[in-house]
Structure 1
Amino acid sequence: MDRSQTIARLRDTLAEVLDKEIPVLTEETRLFEDLALDSTSVIEMLMVMEDTMGLEIDPEELEPEVFATVGSITDYVLSMSAAPATS
């Protein structure tokens, strides 16, 4: 999955979590300030990402800066996708 596909998937995920259409999503879009995510919606977003993107996310390992912008969460998703699977 490339960067633009990841952002498109994130837009779909955020639309589902927030229960509203998100017509424009840029890498600079801030998750909390611009989209009004809260801690509950972040957990829901992570669960949807696991289901739809095939990721295994450990919330305990996430740093707050991962959720700063669409670009930062995209970087995280791409790094998770590129990481070798651990058993």
Structure 2
Amino acid sequence: MDQQAVTAGAPNESRAEVADQVVAILAKMVRRSPDSLERSTRLFEDLELDSTSALELLILIEDGIGVEFDEDTLEPEHFETVASLIAYVLEQLG
């Protein structure tokens, strides 16, 4: 899929596809089924990520989706839940 098409104003299908990709990358990293990850799943508390694994996750998402994260925009709240991570990725694509 052309990454230029996946922007903040992209159709819901494109946004949903990005969300699914983020969940798939996260699930693979933590060795869980994507279906087991709810949007409310907490990354640090429920999945036991630490700061090193959070950085690894960002690199995997950058490589998998083709987004480049701006370090100046990274905030702890972006890593609270699966939903907040997806929202951050979509924001960076837009």
TM superposition score normalised by structure 1: 0.79
The reply to whether residue 28 of structure 1 matches residue 40 of structure 2 is yes
Contact 1:7–1:70 (CA under 8 A) maintained in structure 2: no
Distance in 2 (CA, whole Å) between partners of 1:27 and 1:47 is: 21
Shift of 1:24: 1.5
Deviation at 1:36, TM superposition (A): 0.9
1:24-80 per-residue CA deviation (whole Å, 9 max, x = no partner) reads 222111111111111111011000111011111133430100000111111111111
Mapped partners of 1:21, 1:28: distance in 2: 15
What percent of counterpart residues are identical?
A: 41
Q: How many residues align?
A: 80
Structure 1 unaligned spans of 5+? 83-87
Unaligned runs of 5+ in 2: 1-13
Asked whether the 8 Å contact 2:27–2:37 carries over to 1, the reply is no
Alignment TM-score, normalising by the size of structure 2: 0.74
User: What's the CA shift string for 1:10-37, capped at 9, x where partnerless?
Assistant: 222113322x123322211111111111
Contact map agreement 1:28 1:71 (CA 8 A) in 2: yes
CA RMSD of aligned residues (A): 1.5
Amino acid of the structure 2 residue aligned with 1:71 = A
